[in-house]
Structure 1
Amino acid sequence: MSNFQLGLVITGAVVLIIVVAYNAWTHQRNAPRRPRPAEQGERPAEPAARQEPAFDAPPLASAGAVGAPEPAALDHHAVDARDALELPVPQAERPGGLDALIDAIASITAEQAVAGDVAAAALPRTRRVGSKPFAIEALNPSTRQWETPQAGVRYVHLQAGVQLANRVGALNEIEFSEFVMKTQAFADAINGAPDFPDMLHEVARARELDQFASDHDAQLTFMLRARQAAWSPGYIQQNAARAGLVAGAIPGRMVLPAAEAGLPPVLTLAYDAQAAMSDDPEQSALREVLLSLDVAQVQRGEQPFARLRELAQALCQSMDGVLCDQNGTPLPAMAMDPIAADLEQLYDQLDGRELSAGSLLARRLFS
């Protein structure tokens, strides 16, 4: 073999090695990032160790349907962004049960004391009237507190109520009529006499409350997008767990728990549920996750938006991501600040209506 031929062979081999190496590098660069082994002294992330608390609120929309709005204005019944400044101490929580502020209530007086087990047996099978929650309570003669009828207690005064509004809409005439029928049937079963409020007045109250709720409802969502390499579900879970999030109730969902057990989560991180449930999730390539806050469901004192911004910054840094709006447009830091004042006004208006964010009544109304 001549020197020329030998040179061609060597050159071809070198080119082949370069092509193979480049393809391998490109594959490695574009492959989904996977969880890293726990470093020395660091406990492995266990996102499934805790579960998010259950509460009466609909799940957030899927990643394909949720996004953040333009950052310049507060968009209600939609997703957007808010900041949190110095926050006052939240108002004292109202006791549970029916409340004239958001419920239409009918009083029921029994002809004679009714045994709690008899009253409980007469309760309707369903606790809804149309799309609205419905409840019956009895006044405990010893504690003077309203409660669900209990065995071993005898009651004279009871009441039935239906919620005036929720995120589905306002109580209408048909639902009020169903409320009357259910309450009357219960009253007949315990030999009681109901006293119903005026239907037109309650329906008008429902519409006004629904309008207020519509004007003060905000669900905030940011999108975190990968700058270069995609993420595997395990990689997302590992980084989110290191930032304090725990496994949610459904696949593809992690949450930042509230300070008080049993309350709705402060923040939610969501990604493709199908990828989370796939046979080999580490082969899934995800390029975006959503960070969400349901404003009315979280107490102001939790400083939820400030924590959302901190969490977004930490995840962007650790996962090489960028914070974006619903259209995938990067959000500059200055876009967040003007919205902070809007959120403070929203909190103040909810406080003024005795529907403070995160309170029991607010959680019921905005559900």
Structure 2
Amino acid sequence: MSSLQLSLFGLGFLTLLAVVAYNYWTSRKNQPRQAEPMDESTSGESLAQDPSEPQEPVLSDDFAGLPQPERKAQIDALIDVIATVEVDMPVSGDAALAALPATRRVGTKPFNVEGCSQVNGQWEALLPGRRYSAFQAGVQLANRMGALNEIEFSEFVVKTQAFADAVNGTVTFSDMLEEVARARELDQFASDHDAQLSFTLCARAAAWSPGYIQQHASRQGFVAGVIPGRMVLPSAVQGLPPVLSLTFDTQAAMADDPALSAIREVTLSLDLPQIAREDMAFERLRQSAHLLAKDMDGVITDGAGNVLSDEMLDQIAHDLSQLYEALDQRELSAGSPQARRLFS
């Protein structure tokens, strides 16, 4: 073999080696980032919890030690049409429960019946073993599905009258046109003061695996939700909505081998009217987004690909402060039972 052939052979071998090395480097570079192995010394800490196990507090029985939300009567004249039902004699809770309609909705609006306790005169949800001296039925004026309309009001009348007949009561209704007008006004206010915010965290370089996202999110206090690809930052009070949610591709989370799933963006969301102002939900949303962006090499955007600067986030915070004030003035403070019902 001549020296020229040897040189060409050597050059070809080096070229092949360079291609193999480049392909290996590219493959490693494009491989989704994986979660770090757990340190056995941290096995008892929250970080070591398996993030794939659903722990969303609203559906879990493992939060008995958390504070409980205050239990009050559900029906409220601020956001409900109310019809009173007078009875000649006290009615048992068992009989009242048996008289309720099969469904607790009127169209797209919640329908409720409460009783006036014979013991303390307070309105409460119907319970067996109690006795009630009067009843009130209510249908919600508005929710995110829209305002109560004439057809829904008529259905409310039919259901309430059937309940009153079953307990031998006399029912009094308010004027339909007035209530429908009130529903439209409330719905317009709610539409003007609703705020469901979301930030999109986009990968700068290498994509993320589901385990990588879950591990970093768990360090910020997020726990796995009941839906694959969803994590939540739970409220400190059992039964209340989560403060924040984090979501990513559900199909990627359900893949046969999630470690091979390449995810390039996650969404952090806040349903502001559902969360009390003192929980500082937007501040926590902003902090979580910044920390995750730093740790996961990502960038915070508005979902349309526009990077959100600190100045933009400051302006959003200012706007939300005004929204909180408007809700407070309407006696629909964010996180209150009335606000959670109206903005649902």
TM surpasses 0.5 = yes
Q: 1:63: which partner in 2?
A: none
Q: Distance in 2 between matches of 1:283 and 1:360?
A: 43
- Give the CA deviation at 1:143: 2.5
Query: Amino acid of the residue matched to residue 288 of structure 2?
Result: L
Asked if the contact 1:46–1:241 (Cα under 8 Å) also holds between the matched residues in 2, the reply is no
Give matches, 1:1-367, under 5 Å: 1-39=1-39, 41-43=41-43, 44-48=48-52, 51-54=55-58, 95-367=72-344
Larger mean CA deviation between 17-26 and 33-42 belongs to: 33-42
Distance 1:262 1:151, change over 3 A: closer
- Give the CA deviation at 1:276: 1.1
More helix by share: 2
After TM superposition, where is structure 1 displaced by more than 4 Å over at least 4 residues in a row?
none
- Structure 2 unmatched runs, 5+: 60-68
- Give the CA deviation at 1:39: 4.2
- Give the CA deviation at 1:131: 0.3
Larger mean CA deviation between 260-269 and 141-150 belongs to: 141-150
- Give the CA deviation at 1:334: 1.4
Distance 1:268 1:327, change over 3 A: same
Alignment length (residue pairs): 331
Distance 1:233 1:168, change over 3 A: same
Asked if the contact 1:33–1:230 (Cα under 8 Å) also holds between the matched residues in 2, the reply is yes
Please tell me the root mean square deviation across aligned C-alpha atoms, in Å.
1.7
Distance 1:220 1:251, change over 3 A: same
- Give the CA deviation at 1:294: 0.3
Query: Amino acid of the residue matched to residue 348 of structure 1?
Result: E
User: Which of structures 1 and 2 has the larger relative contact order (alpha carbons within 8 angstroms, sep 6+)?
Assistant: 1
Q: Distance in 2 between matches of 1:40 and 1:119?
A: 56
What TM-score, normalized to structure 2? 0.92
Q: Distance in 2 between matches of 1:45 and 1:330?
A: 33
Q: 1:65: which partner in 2?
A: none
Q: Secondary structure at the match of 1:343?
A: helix
Q: Secondary structure at the match of 1:108?
A: strand
- Give the CA deviation at 1:132: 0.2
Query: Amino acid of the residue matched to residue 17 of structure 1?
Result: L
Q: Distance in 2 between matches of 1:122 and 1:94?
A: 24
